[in-house]
Amino acid sequence: MRNNNSFSILSPFKDDLVFRQLSPTVCHDLGLDTICHELSNDPKERNIIMNILSSMTADPETARYRQEVFSDILALPDLREKMTELFDRIEFIRNFSSTNRDSDEKIGLWHLLHRLDELKDYIVCVESMRECLSDDRITSEGLIGFRNYLVSLYEDACFAEMKKDIFELKQRSAGIKSVTIGINVNERFEAVSMGLVSINDTPFKKSNIISNFADAISSKDKIQSGNDWDGDMHYHLADKEKNEQAFKFLENLTGYMTVKNTPFMDANTRTTIVTAANGDSVQGSTFYLDKILNKMLDSLVKKLRGTLSKYADIAVINITQLIPEFMYYIRFAEFIAKYREMGYCFCKPQVLDSGSRSMEAGGLYNLKLALNSEKMSDIVCNDLLFDSEHTIYILTGANRGGKTTLTQAVGLMYVLAQGGISVPASSFSYQPVDCVYTHFPADEDKTMDLGRLGEECVRFKEIYSNCTSDSLLLLNETFSTTSFEEGYYIARDSVRALMKKKVRTIYNTHMHKLASDADDLNKAACNAMVSSLIMKSTDGRRSFKVEVAFPEGSSYAKDIAEKYGVTYELLTGE
C-alpha cells in the first residue's frame, strides 16, 4: 500500500503487512460493484474505490488507523470540501503542466516563466493543505501524520527558499518591458543574423515624430550611417494599409506567424514566433524569438532554468498519489452522510485484538437494501455472533426468506469495516479477516466443461486450500445442483474440513438435514463448533429475522419445488 518514500492515510508504516486481494467473483457476489457505482459516476474513481476495498489485511492496527481517519473526514464536511478543491487544483497543475511538454531547451523562455507560475500555485496548494489539516478537531493518527509529513516536506523541499527564488525571478523578469534587437540583412534584404542591442524597462510606444519603417526603407535619407544605436526609444510602426509594399517586405523578412494551438500563451506571446525568409544562407531554418531570447537574456534564463531544475522533483508525486486515498474516504463520507440524513443507521466498527468473540453485530443489514429502499423502517435488521461456539453457521429457511441477503450482508460488513468505513449496523465489533471467499452459484456458461457439480467441487477445493483460520467463507446453496443424497454427503464432509481449519463460515443451504446434524458434527470436533441458524417464518410468512435454532421442519423439497416452479399452484397458475 505504500513505499519508503511516501506517506499513506490507508495504512500505518509497517514492513510486515500482508494484503490479500478479493477476487472479481467475490466482489461481484458481495455487490461491491453496485456500491461503487452508487459512490461515484467517475469510472476512474470507482476503480480506485474497488481496488482499496478489495485489498484486505488481517492487521488490526491498519483497520483502526483507517477507521480513525474516516471518522475525522466524516465528521468534518468543511475539511472534505476544502481538500477536494485543493486536490482538484493540484490535479489540474499536474495534468496541464508545461513539464508534460518538451524540454526547457525546446520550449523556451515563455514556458519557463509559466512553469514558475505552476510552482507558485503548487506551493499555495501545499500551504493551504497544511493550514486545512491544522484544524484542532482532527484527532486521527493518519491525518495528523499527513500534516506533519507536509511540514517536513515543506522544509525538506526548501519551500521558503523556493518562494523567495520564484519571487525574485518573477520580479526580475517582470521588469523587462522591451528588447531592442538588431537584424543584419544581405543584399536581398534577407535576415542573416540577429543580435541583442539592449534590454529595456520601458515599453516602446508609437511615435508620430519621425517616419515609420516603410518611410525608412523607401528614403535613403532615413537610412542611418553606421550601426551604433543612438538611444532613440521611439517605436516605429509599419502602416499596413498605407504602406503595403513595406509591410510585405517586413513580412517576407521575418515571416510573422501566429501560434494558435499552443496552450498557456496569450495573444502577445503568440506573435513572437518568426520564420526567416528562405535564402542561400538560411534556407530551411526556423527562428523562434523565445529561443533567441534564451541566448540574449542568458543570465536570466540560466537562473530561471537552474531554479526549475532545483525544484523539479519537489514531492509533487508524493502528494498527488494521496489524492485517490482521500477521494476514497470522501466519497464514502458523502454517501453515509446522505443516508444518515435519510434515517439509515451506521456505526463505527470496533476492532477486537483477541478473545473468545471474533465478531458481534447488532442490528446489521445489507447495505444494498438501503439503495433499493425508501426508508430505514422498510429494512429488517438482525444480530449475529461469531465465537468459539458459533464458528460455522448452517443457515436454512424458506425460499426467498432473506438467506442470501444476510449472507451477503455479513461479507459486506467485514469489507467495509476493514476499509475503515462506518458499517450498516447499530453496533459491530470484530477481529479482522485476512480475506473473504464466496461460493455462490456460477453462471451456466462456466459449468459447460465440468458440469455444475464438478465445477462446484473444483471451485470449493481451491477456496478451501486458500482459507485460513483468519478467513471468512460465505457459501450460497453449495452442492445443491445434484441429488439431495449426493449433495448432502459432499456438504457434510466439506463442513467437517472447515471445522478443522476453524474458518468463520456461513453456509446458506436448503439441506435442513445438514443443519440438523450440527450436534453430531460437534461431538467429533475439537477445533470449532457448528450452529444451526434459521430464517424464521410464522404461518408461512417470512419474517427475515434469524435466530440460532434447529430447522423448522423438513421443508427442503418444498422450498426447492417452489424455487424451480414445480408446485401444483405454480405449474397450473391456480
Report DSSP letters for 19-52, one per residue.
-EEPPHHHHHHHTHHHHHHHH-S-HHHHHHHHHH
- Indicate whether 155 and 227 sit together in one domain: no
Q: 181-185, 198-202, 558-562 — which is least confidently predicted? A: 558-562
Note the pLDDT tens digit of each residue in 135-154: 999 999 999 999 988 887 76
Where in the sequence is the domain holding 153, given as residue range(s)? 57-172+312-326
Measured between alpha carbons, how far is 319 from 156 in angstroms, rounded to an integer?
14
Residue 266 is predicted with a pLDDT of: 39
- We report the CATH number of the domain holding residue 490 as 3.40.50.300
- Indicate whether 142 and 196 sit together in one domain: no
Instruction: State how many domains the chain has.
Output: 3
Q: 13-22, 107-116, 176-185, 324-333 — which is least confidently predicted? A: 107-116
Residue 305 lies in a domain: no
Residue 89 is predicted with a pLDDT of: 80
Q: What are the grid coordinates assigned to 271, written together?
A: 506573435
Residue 15 is predicted with a pLDDT of: 77
pLDDT band at 286 (very low <50, low <70, confident <90, very high): very low
Share of the chain above pLDDT 90, in %: 42
Is the pTM here over 0.95, yes or no? no
Residue 285 is predicted with a pLDDT of: 32
pLDDT band at 180 (very low <50, low <70, confident <90, very high): confident
pLDDT band at 214 (very low <50, low <70, confident <90, very high): very low
Instruction: Give 388 or 437, the one with higher predicted confidence.
Output: 437
Residue 25 is predicted with a pLDDT of: 95
- Indicate whether 404 and 523 sit together in one domain: yes
Instruction: Give 179 or 72, the one with higher predicted confidence.
Output: 72
Residue 329 is predicted with a pLDDT of: 97
Q: Is the pLDDT of residue 268 over 50?
A: no
- Indicate whether 285 and 167 sit together in one domain: no
- Indicate whether 533 and 395 sit together in one domain: yes
Residue 8 lies in a domain: no
Q: Could you give the angle at which helices 60-75 and 323-341 cross, rounded to 10 degrees?
A: 60
- Indicate whether 353 and 431 sit together in one domain: yes
Mean pLDDT of 91-104: 56
**Which of 132, 135, 124, 127 shows the shortest CA–CA distance to 151?**
127
Measured between alpha carbons, how far is 429 from 425 in angstroms, rounded to an integer?
10
Q: Is the pLDDT of residue 454 over 70?
A: yes
Share of the chain above pLDDT 70, in %: 63
Q: Is the pLDDT of residue 72 over 90?
A: yes
CA angle 420, 423, 429 (to 5 degrees): 80
Q: What are the grid coordinates assigned to 469, written together?
A: 483460520
Residue 46 lies in a domain: no
Q: Is the dihedral of CA 161, 163, 169, 171 positive or negative?
A: negative
- Indicate whether 157 and 197 sit together in one domain: no
Burial 549-565 (b: 16+ CB within 10 A, else e): eebeeebbeebebbeee
Half-sphere exposure of 340 (CA within 13 A, CB side): 14
Mean pLDDT of 468-497: 89
Mean pLDDT of 349-362: 86
Residue 494 is predicted with a pLDDT of: 93
